[in-house]
């Protein structure tokens, strides 16, 4: 890496409409995160761009389509594409979601919730083992936002998430917004969720915006980070310490400066300057 050394600072989820501007301006962020699937092509301009950005920034490869929790066999072609990217770009972080998307080969292309049972836990752990073995490295798995719970679940989500990390040796990408959204949607205490996490397994934070849905909250990634989520993030940082943090914004993408402002606010919290931080005014 030619540029800055990795530090537990804040960065942004980089989306195509911002590619050219990020390259031109080279903003001072600690890292960039991209969706792995957006770079599955055999060649072309996007991969060239990632190559150039990689020379300047530590990179996080964030997968949205591996369907880690599916009862289907692990998608060999998908995993091979991730492996190719990991070998080529040597990212700082490689992550997937604690969810499923496909069954019998048919994809929903969405992050669907799992039942929190002992059997699901065993299944997910064996899948993470297989992925870590294949990639030759530790991966991170992210807690998702959800809009329902299954009657057959025998443990709370936080217990499931903590057990996945403990049993597989993977790390946790704690999406603070998802913890908050689920705490509202399913009526649990977000602080209890944080208290169940082992600091040694926490390797990254995500922040994003949510919006009110027909019932509860929806993790839309189309809004600024909410004040309550900033507060929960500050609590997580105080509890577990600073970790690389990504602000995600996927729909109704704002100007790059708005996104960088959110990353700046996260950076201030990571640096312990959070007492002065409120929801950034420029995005209000």
Q: Which residues bind other proteins (CB under 8 A)?
A: 37, 40-49, 64-67, 69-71, 75, 77-78, 81, 100-110, 112, 114-115, 117, 119-120, 123, 147-152, 186-187, 213-216, 218
d(CA 139, CA 74): 16
Strand 106-112 with 211-212, pairing: unpaired
Sign of CA dihedral 108, 110, 111, 113: negative
Q: Which is nearer to other proteins, 104 or 133 (CB)?
A: 104
Buried b (16+ CB within 10 A) or exposed e, 118-142: eebbebbbebbeebbebbeeebbbb
What's the token pair of residue 92?
Answer: 């700082």
**Whole-number minimum distance, CB 59 to other proteins, in Å?**
19
Beta-carbon count within 10 A of 83 CB: 15
Q: Which is nearer to other proteins, 75 or 259 (CB)?
A: 75
Q: Which is nearer to other proteins, 108 or 200 (CB)?
A: 108
**Whole-number minimum distance, CB 282 to other proteins, in Å?**
28
Q: Which is nearer to other proteins, 218 or 277 (CB)?
A: 218
**Whole-number minimum distance, CB 113 to other proteins, in Å?**
9
Q: Which residues contact 77 (CB under 8 A, 6 or more apart)?
A: none
**Whole-number minimum distance, CB 148 to other proteins, in Å?**
4
**Whole-number minimum distance, CB 86 to other proteins, in Å?**
16
Q: Which is nearer to other proteins, 120 or 201 (CB)?
A: 120
């Amino acid at each position: 890496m030619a540029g800055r050394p990795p530090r537990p600072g804040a960065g942004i989820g980089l989306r195509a409409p911002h590619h050219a501007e990020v390259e031109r301006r080279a903003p001072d962020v600690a890292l960039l995160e991209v969706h792995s699937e957006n770079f599955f092509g055999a060649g072309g301009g996007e991969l060239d761009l990632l190559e150039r950005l990689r020379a300047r920034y530590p990179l996080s490869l964030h997968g949205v389509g591996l369907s880690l929790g599916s009862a289907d066999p692990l998608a060999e072609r998908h995993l091979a594409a991730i492996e190719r990217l990991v070998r080529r770009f040597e990212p700082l972080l490689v992550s997937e979601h604690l969810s499923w998307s496909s069954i019998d080969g048919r994809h929903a292309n969405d992050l669907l919730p799992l039942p929190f049972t002992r059997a699901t836990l065993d299944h997910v752990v064996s899948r993470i083992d297989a992925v870590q073995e294949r990639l030759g490295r530790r991966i991170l798995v992210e807690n998702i936002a959800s809009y329902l719970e299954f009657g057959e679940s025998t443990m709370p989500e936080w217990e499931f998430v903590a057990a996945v990390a403990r049993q597989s040796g993977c790390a946790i990408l704690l999406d603070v917004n998802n913890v908050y959204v689920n705490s509202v949607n399913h009526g649990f205490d977000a602080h209890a969720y944080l208290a169940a996490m082992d600091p040694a397994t926490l390797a990254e934070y995500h922040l994003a915006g949510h919006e009110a849905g027909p019932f509860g909250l929806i993790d839309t990634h189309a809004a600024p980070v909410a004040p309550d989520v900033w507060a929960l993030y500050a609590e997580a940082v105080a509890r577990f310490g600073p970790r690389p943090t990504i602000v995600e914004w996927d729909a109704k993408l704002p100007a790059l400066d708005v996104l960088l402002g959110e990353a700046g606010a996260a950076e201030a919290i990571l640096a312990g300057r959070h007492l002065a931080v409120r929801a950034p005014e420029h995005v209000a």
